[in-house]
Amino acid sequence: MKIARKDSRLEKPSSDPSAAVSPEQPVGTGKLPVASEIPPVPKERVLLPAVLFLATCLSTFWTGAVGWRPFAHLDSFERAWGIFWQNLPQSFGGALRVAATALDWDWSQGLVYMAAVLAILLTHEMGHFLIALRYGVPASLPYFIPVPVLPFGTMGAIIEMEEGSQANRRQMFDLGLIGPLAGLVVAIPITIVGIYHLPKVPLKGEGFLFDNPLLIRYLIDFLRPDYASSTKFYLNQFNPYLMAGWVGMFVTGLNMLPVSQLDGGHVAYSLLERGAHTLARGLLVFAILYVLYTEQYGWVVMLVIVILLGIDHPPTADDGIEIGPVRRALGWLALLIPILCLSPIGISQPVR
């Protein structure tokens, strides 16, 4: 996902028309800039993404290790913390080992989930970053969002671009589409591995219900006909690969909604220009009515974020450039990604 921001370090545009374009500063040429043309990255622009990435590694490991039930295992964490302090005077290493045995965690599951979900998210975000580098569009490193209190352990990541981006219409299309496609290239194989790891006899369901999106349902129908009727999985029925695939598709589906500055918003604006504003507003109204009718209030946070970002997509550096028939066909197909990857129900509390 990418958002625009103002950068106070950017120079104000010159009043001299001849200075508007400089041969020493190519803008949106589509050519890979040489090293001398790339400004040094400030240390704070590297440190914060690195810290957030490490924090997301920890949060996804934690949620995976506790079976995606962070609150249910807080008591074992508190117990282990007390044991650690009791044994600390004798030996730090010994106290740590004893405390670790008191944790009701599945360490291997946590590591597998962390590696799988971050592989999907990192591929998605680096797709954006590398294509931005390819076009010489100033962009930050990915800012991952750790959320250890949610089952996922993360809410994905964002990449910042300066407001009034140097990307033209065709480049904006590529910037919006390459990330979700790259993420799906990793998410689908991981999901397939997770489907193959499902036990022959389904476990008795416990916890929240996760509604499977259409793409996962199609894969299950094809690969595991014995699970063909499983349109939903309880929380305890997931393995780390399948959960990572579910989360990866969920994040991809959200990002490809044709609204605001989400990836789907970039693609929709490249296809429809200002017609994308009408599409985004209509989709927002539909989403609000859907939430009120179905009482799926978990979507309210997403609606608020989209509204704060702004519903309409800003103009590109050059809206007059044609994207071509191949990109246009690919773009319309890509706008179907939310239908395939995003469940309208998402997560629900089972009725007993």
pLDDT for residue 33: 47
pLDDT for residue 351: 53
At 296, list the tokens.
């799926």
Cβ-in-10-Å burial (0-12, 13-18, 19+) of 286 comes to: exposed
pLDDT for residue 237: 87
In one-letter notation, the amino acid at residue 202 is P
pLDDT for residue 228: 79
Q: Which residues have a Cβ under 8 Å from the Cβ of 242 and sit 6 or more positions away?
A: 191, 194, 195, 197, 198, 233
In one-letter notation, the amino acid at residue 169 is R
pLDDT for residue 137: 85
pLDDT for residue 117: 96
pLDDT for residue 26: 43
Q: Report the DSSP pairing between strands 153-162 and 2-5.
A: parallel
pLDDT for residue 42: 52
Domain limits, the chain: 41-67+106-348
Beta bridge partner(s), residue 201: none
In one-letter notation, the amino acid at residue 265 is G
pLDDT digits (tens, 9 = 90+) for 224-280: 988 877 788 888 889 999 999 999 999 999 899 998 888 999 999 999 988 989 998
Positions in the chain short of pLDDT 50: 4-40, 164
Cβ atoms < 10 Å from Cβ of 347: 19
